[in-house]
Amino acid sequence: MLNLAGMAAEAEQNWPGLVQAWVDRRTPLCELRCPPSEILPEVVHWVVDELLFRFAGLIVEQEPQEWDLRYLFYSIQGPPRWARLRVRQPLDTPKFPSISPQVHAADWYEREAEDLYGVTFEGHPRLGDFVLHDDLWQEAVAPMRRDFDEKAALAERRPDLDWKFRRIVHDPGAFAMPVGPIYSGVTESVQFLLETVGEDVIRAFPRLFYKYRAIEKIAEGRNVDGCLLLAERFAATTAFAHALAYCQAVETICRVKLPPRAHALRVLVSELERFRHHVGVIHDICESTGLSVAASQAAILEEDLLRLSGDLTGHRYLFGLAIPGGLSRNLKDADCIDAVEMAVKILKRLQELDDGLRYSSSFLDRLEGVGIISPGKAWEFGLVGPMGRASGLGGDLRKAQPYASYEHFEFDVPLESEGDGFARLRVLMAEAAQSVRILCQVPVRLEAGDVAVGVSLQSGRALGWVEAPRGATFHGLHLDESGVVLRYRMITPSFVNWHGFHLAAENFAFQDFPIILATVGLSATENDR
């Protein structure tokens, strides 16, 4: 295993004159500057397959003179380290080599960049019709460009009435069932195309970005406080995690050191949110299998946790709590202890429910072997969070790249390898238990003192990351000296995992579709932004 200096040296040696390396010991990070030529895929291959870094995401930024693409990688073994590949290109040549053939996880990032910035990735076999739906928007529209004229774009657009789904099943008599965007009971706006010849569904593919609200675009030009509202509220079932990632980015830019109490309380609230989120998904799973008593009991637990959150922090979805520099309000020690005790009680009831579920063969029958994602595929698609961990793909940012004093807490990262619906349920259950385990350690770490420090805004770029309930999330922020956001990038676990959703939805019985959907527990709003 190379250290960062060694890595920099080897990179420069491997591609002499082409790759320039630079090490930042504070983060710690090794930046490799790479020309936009065919060596980019080689370097990526080296970083991922030989140095065993994981691909975190791609940040595209339009500088006044040039395109600046930053491919982020982080280590999941050994000491926490980052690698960043930086590729620049003059503004008038928006062309880059595609790295998707090497790192399939980059597929959607490149498609997204192509749709929003109008930069093309040569070698990518399938660009277009992604974020901006082709039946509404012309392909040429690139809203994230600095010179994007929304009035002209809206005035010029012509809905394409003949737009059709891309179908890939060509059996004789094959047809497709569209599901959504408005379907079933209370569901997010996502569309699925289920391709079938009648009984079994051969393949299901999601069409996302129905909820595209251009958060990254409208963030630009806002101040830090205004942008915080977006970070917090674009995906509210995991609001605190995203707000925290954003705050951490601001804090890194402004070099703020947080009081220990703030860290401890952030852990407390984070784990409370994770616990509540997982119980919510467990409720969805029970409901999708039609086990109504279990579903009701899980629903009661979810509402109990919502009420607990509301009682403790004033808001059921933990809004308005995280601010750059700490927390917006101090929580009383006694309240925290009460909350932890309550969480322990709720966990006990959850475990009783779990016991019941494991004795219900009708329930297990519907989960076992359903929606299998093999570990190999999970690695290729770089799945994160419980969905990845159920397929044997570890890597929890709380361990790999600790933040908010997680390094002081004891907990395990549950791992399963079957990759089916039941494995995902087991991971959720185990993670809920680990969250409560962390919660129990919080009261002893609550030092007296402030929960927030003042932040004096500076210019700069930084990345904030959090292991959100659905998996790793990265918020990249670029501020100017007056604290105005120049670029705000959100890399979310749902975006990564929806990319691999179709792996779980191949050759299944139609009635299993809601179950597959519930067990992966993905959020459209977190993906669409």
Partner 1 sequence: MFFTVFAVLFLAFSVAGIVCALLSPERGVALSLGCFGGVASVAMGAVGVCALISDTPFEVRLWSVPTVGPLMLSVDKLSGLFLLVSAFVFLATSIYSVEYLQAYLKHFNLRTLSVCYFAIMLAVGLVLSAADALTFLVSWELMSLFGYALVNYQKRDEQSTRPGYLMLVMGEAGFVAVVLAFLVIGGRGPGNLLFSSLRLHSASLGWHARWAVFLLSFFGFGVKTGLAPFNRWLPQAHPIAPANVSAVLSGVLLNLGIYGIIRVNADLTPLATAGPGLVVLLVGAFSALMGIMYANRDNDMKAMLANSSIENMGIITTALGAGLVFMTFHQPLLAGIAWIAAFYQMTNHSVYKSLLFFGAGAIDRNSGTRLMDRLGGLSKHMPLLAALFLAGALSICALPPTNGFVSEWLTLQCLLQSSVLASRSVKVLFALAGAGLALTAGLAVTCFVKAYAMTFLGIPRSNQARQRARVRFPIRLAMGLGAVSCLLLGVLPTYVIPILGRVSELLTGVNAAAALVPPFFNGAPGHSRLPHSFLSDFHNLGAQVGQNLLPAPGLVVLHRGHAQNPVVFAMSTSYMLPVLILLASTLFLAVRFVLARRSKTVRKPVWAGGLASLFPELTYTATGFSSPVRVTFNAVFHPQMSEERLELIAGHFRNSITRVVGEVHVFDRVLFQPLVNRASHIARTLSRMHHGRLNAYSAYVLGTLFVVLLLSRTQVEEHVVLSPALILIVALILDRLL
Partner 2 sequence: MSRWVISGLRQGVVTTCYPTRMETAKGTSPGLPARLTPMADEFGQELVDVCPTGAIHFERGEARVDYGRCIHCFRCSRSARYVLEWESGFEWARFASDGSNFVKGAASWPKAFRKSMHIRVVDAGDCGACLNEVKQLNNPYYNMHRLGFFITPTPRKADILLVVGPVNDHTRLPLQAAYDAMPTPKLVMAVGACALSGGVFGPSFVTGTGVKDVLPVDIEVPGSPPPPLAILHGLLVAAGRKPPMPGQDGR
Q: How many residues contact partner 1, by CB under 8 A?
A: 37
- Contact set for partner 2, span 476-505 (CB under 8 A): none
Among 408, 465, 457, CA closest to 256: 457
Q: Which is nearer to partner 1, 140 or 182 (CB)?
A: 182
Determine contact, residues 350/429, Cβ cutoff 8 Å: yes
Q: Which is nearer to partner 2, 52 or 152 (CB)?
A: 152
As to burial, measured by CB atoms within 10 angstroms (0-12 exposed, 13-18 middle, 19+ buried), residue 459 is middle
225 binds partner 2 (CB under 8 A): yes
**Stretch near partner 1 under the rule CB under 8 A, chosen from 39-47, 61-69, 182-190, 416-424:** 182-190
**How far, in Å, CA of 487 to CA of 296, rounded?**
43
From the list partner 2, partner 1, none, partner contacted by residue 212 (C-beta under 5 to 8 A by kind): partner 2
Q: Which of 202, 306, 413, 486 binds partner 1 (CB under 8 A)?
A: 202
Number of residues that make up the chain: 529
* 103-124 burial code (b ≥16 CB/10 A, e <16): bbbbbbbbbbbbbbbbbbbeeb
Q: Which is nearer to partner 1, 324 or 500 (CB)?
A: 500
From the list partner 1, partner 2, none, partner contacted by residue 291 (C-beta under 5 to 8 A by kind): partner 2
SS3 label, residue 368: coil
- Contact set for partner 1, span 123-142 (CB under 8 A): 125-126, 135
Pattern 146-175, binding to partner 2, x per CB under 8 A?
----x--xx---------------------
**Rounded to 10 degrees, what is the CA torsion of 281, 286, 287, 290?**
160
- Contact set for partner 2, span 334-353 (CB under 8 A): 352
177 binds partner 1 (CB under 8 A): yes
107 binds partner 1 (CB under 8 A): yes
- At closest approach, how far in Å is the CB of 119 from partner 1? 19
Determine contact, residues 343/312, Cβ cutoff 8 Å: no
What DSSP string runs through 386-398? HHHHTTT----HH
Pattern 85-124, binding to partner 2, x per CB under 8 A?
----------------------------------------
Pattern 377-406, binding to partner 1, x per CB under 8 A?
---x--------------------------
Q: 3-state SS string over 200-236?
A: EEEEEEEECCCCCCCHHHHHCCCEHHHHHHHHHHCCH
Q: Which of 140, 155, 182, 334 binds partner 1 (CB under 8 A)?
A: 182
204 binds partner 2 (CB under 8 A): no
Chain centre distance of CA 170 = 34
* Dihedral class, residue 521 (left if φ above 0, else alpha if ψ from -120 to 50, else beta): left
234 binds partner 2 (CB under 8 A): yes
Q: How many residues contact partner 2, by CB under 8 A?
A: 67
The sign of the dihedral angle between the CA atoms of 446, 452, 457, 463 is positive
Residue type, 243: A
Tokens of 273: 């949110």
Tokens of 109: 């990032």
- At closest approach, how far in Å is the CB of 432 from partner 1? 33
115 binds partner 1 (CB under 8 A): no
Tokens of 171: 């059996």
503 binds partner 1 (CB under 8 A): no
- Contact set for partner 1, span 67-106 (CB under 8 A): 100-101, 104
- Contact set for partner 2, span 286-315 (CB under 8 A): 291, 293-294, 296-297, 299-300, 302-303, 306-312, 314-315
What DSSP string runs through 443-466? HHH--SS-SB-------EEEEEEE
Query: Which residues contact residue 501 at a Cβ distance below 8 angstroms, ignoring those fewer than 6 apart?
Result: 206, 520, 522
Q: Which of 196, 289, 401, 435 binds partner 1 (CB under 8 A)?
A: 196
Q: 3-state SS string over 464-507?
A: EEEEECCEEEEEEEEECCCCEEEEEEEECHHHHHHHCHHHHCEE
Q: Which of 5, 13, 63, 175 binds partner 1 (CB under 8 A)?
A: 175
Contact footprint for partner 2 (CB under 8 A): 133, 136, 143, 150, 153-154, 181-189, 209-215, 217-218, 225-226, 229-230, 233-237, 239, 280, 291, 293-294, 296-297, 299-300, 302-303, 306-312, 314-317, 319-320, 328-329, 352, 356, 359-360, 523, 525-526, 528
Residues that bind partner 1 (CB under 8 A): 100-101, 104, 107, 125-126, 135, 161, 164-165, 167-183, 189, 191, 195-199, 202-203, 380
